[in-house]
């Protein structure tokens, strides 16, 4: 990992090591991928203000998220199927996050189960829930998260209906992969991946198998999602979730000021400005372009987190300057996982942390709570 200097290096290694079906799954956006591209392009368009002769000795990235101290304003986003990027992927990522002092979020659609991850770490992690039609099962899942001492529930709001990713269809994505000639030839060139997945604890969805029908071997994730996820989910259901989850609640997938206000009214403790990494509503604006208005409207009432396109510490700094309390990273750590397991995820976090530290210094800032719009050349509305 020593010659790895940036997230792009991890991406290049992951692309060599992970079978096409799963790296395509990680990289893709929905439909024409306009929103996926906008996430990156609009972040790059936010310009940082270079300042000089400011004493920036003794800097710190430490801050808090939901009142808990963190080493830097970063968390690992919920990612389905991490255990297909690397055997035991969720356990390795959770351990890396713990070692680096930031929260890890376990997806409902993980390979390792809530209990597997809880047994592998010493600090609480966050659990992300997708609400499926069988509410009895959701209650059970939330009880499992309580029993595992998860410290926050991340309720994902933007995937009750699945946006199409063309490559998942073309590749015939299944979990685990089927023994088709095309897959065998591909996996034969990825022996480290095959070894790690073969030796991993589980080969299918750890939170769902044995609890939900048809989860032992998902021939079509898209079809399963379409039949099981509940499109009737609405703000009233948040009350129900709050009645069965006593802890911190984070609503993920907020892109609109009206929805952000409703999130505050719902009693949630945080929201994530997110378009699911460009994987859902193609044609939606980039999440960085939605952030300032949401942060201005509700930032004093609720913690505003951000994700979408973060590939560097500079990107984190941009989001903080536009009102985020912290960023979640998705693909940036998935690349680390595919490239080098736990060490790869640690490297991804370390790279972003170092870039954030250096970039803060070069904008004349020493601490996270000093970061504001004053470090931007101009904000999205043309003002500084
Ligand atoms: C491969 C992949 C799987 C994902 N799975 C989930 C999931 O299970 N639950 C969820 O809430 N979001 C999921 N997301 C969305 C991420 O949590 C996050 O919003 C997104 O990755 C942020 O964009 P970035 O990848 O550009 O950092 C997934 C994203 C990717 C790339």
> 83: closest CA among 190, 193, 225?
193
Which carries the bigger pLDDT value, residue 126 or residue 177?
Answer: 126
* Active-site residue list: 276
- Alpha-carbon span 285 to 282, nearest angstrom: 8
Confidence band, pLDDT 50/70/90 cuts, at residue 384: very low
Q: pLDDT per residue over 42-52, tens digit each?
A: 999 999 999 99
CA-closest residue to ligand 1 atom 13:
79
Is 173's C-beta closer than 6 angstroms to any atom of ligand 1? no
User: How far is ligand 1, taken at its centre, from the CA of residue 127, in Å?
Assistant: 13
User: How far is ligand 1, taken at its centre, from the CA of residue 291, in Å?
Assistant: 18
**So what's the pLDDT on residue 378?**
76
CA angle, residues 323, 282, 301, in degrees to nearest 5: 25
> Taking the domain 7-375, which CATH number applies?
3.20.20.70
> 85: closest CA among 144, 24, 170?
24
What's 384's DSSP letter?
-
Which residues, other chains included, contact 238 with Cβ-Cβ below 8 Å and sequence gap of 6+?
155, 249, 251, 266, 267, 268
Is 330's C-beta closer than 6 angstroms to any atom of ligand 1? yes
Q: pLDDT per residue over 70-107, tens digit each?
A: 999 999 999 999 999 999 999 999 999 999 999 999 99
Mean pLDDT within 53-75: 98
CA-closest residue to ligand 1 atom 15:
276
User: How far is ligand 1, taken at its centre, from the CA of residue 308, in Å?
Assistant: 9
Residue 381 has pLDDT above 60, yes or no: no
Q: Which of 155-159, 212-216, 341-345 has the lowest mean pLDDT?
A: 212-216
Which residues, other chains included, contact 189 with Cβ-Cβ below 8 Å and sequence gap of 6+?
none
SS3 state of residue 69: strand
- Alpha-carbon span 263 to 334, nearest angstrom: 29
- Alpha-carbon span 58 to 365, nearest angstrom: 10
The torsion angles phi and psi of 10, rounded to 5 degrees, stand at -65, -40
What's 376's DSSP letter?
B
Mean pLDDT within 323-341: 98
Mean pLDDT for the chain overall = 95
Contact 343, 47 (CB under 8 A): no
Q: pLDDT per residue over 344-368, tens digit each?
A: 999 999 999 999 999 999 999 999 9
CB atoms within 10 A of CB 170: 10
Nearest atom (ligand 1) to Cα of 36: 26
Contact 373, 324 (CB under 8 A): no
Which residue bears the tokens 């999130």? 263
- Write the DSSP string, 138-190: HHHHHHHHHHTT-SEEEEE-S-SSPPP-HHHHHTT--BSPP--HHHHHHHHT-
- Alpha-carbon span 188 to 235, nearest angstrom: 48
Strands 74-76 and 68-70: unpaired
User: How far is ligand 1, taken at its centre, from the CA of residue 327, in Å?
Assistant: 13
Q: pLDDT per residue over 108-125, tens digit each?
A: 999 999 999 999 999 999
SS3 state of residue 189: coil
> 313-321 and 34-44 are packed helices; what angle lies between their axes, rounded to 10 degrees?
80
- Buried b / exposed e over 186-198, threshold 16 CB at 10 Å, is bbeebeebeebbe
For a ligand 1 pocket test, name from 279, 327, 338 the mutation site with the most ligand atoms within 8 angstroms of its C-beta.
Answer: 279
Is 276's C-beta closer than 6 angstroms to any atom of ligand 1? yes
- Alpha-carbon span 9 to 28, nearest angstrom: 18
Mean pLDDT within 311-328: 98
For a ligand 1 pocket test, name from 14, 78, 272 the mutation site with the most ligand atoms within 8 angstroms of its C-beta.
Answer: 78
User: How far is ligand 1, taken at its centre, from the CA of residue 77, in Å?
Assistant: 6
Contact 354, 314 (CB under 8 A): no
CA-closest residue to ligand 1 atom 8:
80
Nearest atom (ligand 1) to Cα of 107: 8
What's 224's DSSP letter?
H
**So what's the pLDDT on residue 382?**
52
User: How far is ligand 1, taken at its centre, from the CA of residue 383, in Å?
Assistant: 32
Mean pLDDT within 174-189: 89
CA angle, residues 148, 75, 257, in degrees to nearest 5: 105
Separation of CA 225 from chain center: 19
CA-closest residue to ligand 1 atom 10:
78
Confidence band, pLDDT 50/70/90 cuts, at residue 219: low
What's 126's DSSP letter?
E
Is 83's C-beta closer than 6 angstroms to any atom of ligand 1? no
Residues of the chain above pLDDT 70, percent: 97
Q: pLDDT per residue over 249-292, tens digit each?
A: 999 999 999 999 999 999 999 999 999 999 999 999 999 999 99
Is 331's C-beta closer than 6 angstroms to any atom of ligand 1? yes
User: How far is ligand 1, taken at its centre, from the CA of residue 24, in Å?
Assistant: 13
Nearest atom (ligand 1) to Cα of 154: 11
Burial class (CB in 10 A: 0-12, 13-18, 19+), 104: buried
**So what's the pLDDT on residue 288?**
98
Q: pLDDT per residue over 136-178, tens digit each?
A: 999 999 999 999 999 999 999 999 999 999 998 888 888 888 8
């Amino acid at each position: 990992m020593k010659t790895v200097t940036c997230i792009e290096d991890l991406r290049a290694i992951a692309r060599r090591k992970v079978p096409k079906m799963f790296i395509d799954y990680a990289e893709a956006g929905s439909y024409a991928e306009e929103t996926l591209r906008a996430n990156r392009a609009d972040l790059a368009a936010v310009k940082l203000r270079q300042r000089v002769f400011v004493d920036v000795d003794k800097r710190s990235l430490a801050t808090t998220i939901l009142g808990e101290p963190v080493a830097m304003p970063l968390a690992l986003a919920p990612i389905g199927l991490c255990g297909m990027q690397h055997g035991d992927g969720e356990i390795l990522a959770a351990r890396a996050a713990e070692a680096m002092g930031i929260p890890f979020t376990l997806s409902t659609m993980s390979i390792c189960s809530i209990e597997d991850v809880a047994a592998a770490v010493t600090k609480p992690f966050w659990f992300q829930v997708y609400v499926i039609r069988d509410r009895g099962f959701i209650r059970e899942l939330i009880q499992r998260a309580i029993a595992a001492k998860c410290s926050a529930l991340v309720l994902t709001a933007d995937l009750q209906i699945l946006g199409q990713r063309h490559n998942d269809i073309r590749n015939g994505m299944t979990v685990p992969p089927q023994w088709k000639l095309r897959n065998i030839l591909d996996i034969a060139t990825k022996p480290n991946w095959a070894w790690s997945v073969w030796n991993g604890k589980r080969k299918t969805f750890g939170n769902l198998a044995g609890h939900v029908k048809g989860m032992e071997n998902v021939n079509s994730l898209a079809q399963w999602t379409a039949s099981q996820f509940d499109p009737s989910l609405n703000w009233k259901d948040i009350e129900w979730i709050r009645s069965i989850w006593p802890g911190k609640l984070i609503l993920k997938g907020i892109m609109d000021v009206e929805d952000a206000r409703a999130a505050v009214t719902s009693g949630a403790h945080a929201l994530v400005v997110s378009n699911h990494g460009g994987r859902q509503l193609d044609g939606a604006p980039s999440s960085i372009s939605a952030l300032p208005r949401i942060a201005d409207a509700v930032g004093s009432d609720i913690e505003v987190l951000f994700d979408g396109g973060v590939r560097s510490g500079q990107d984190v700094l941009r989001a903080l300057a536009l009102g985020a309390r912290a960023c979640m990273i998705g693909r940036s750590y998935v690349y680390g996982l595919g490239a080098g397991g736990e060490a790869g995820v640690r490297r991804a976090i370390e790279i972003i942390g170092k870039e954030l530290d250096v970039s803060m210094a070069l904008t004349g800032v020493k601490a996270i709570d000093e970061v504001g719009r004053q470090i931007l050349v101009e904000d999205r509305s043309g003002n500084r």
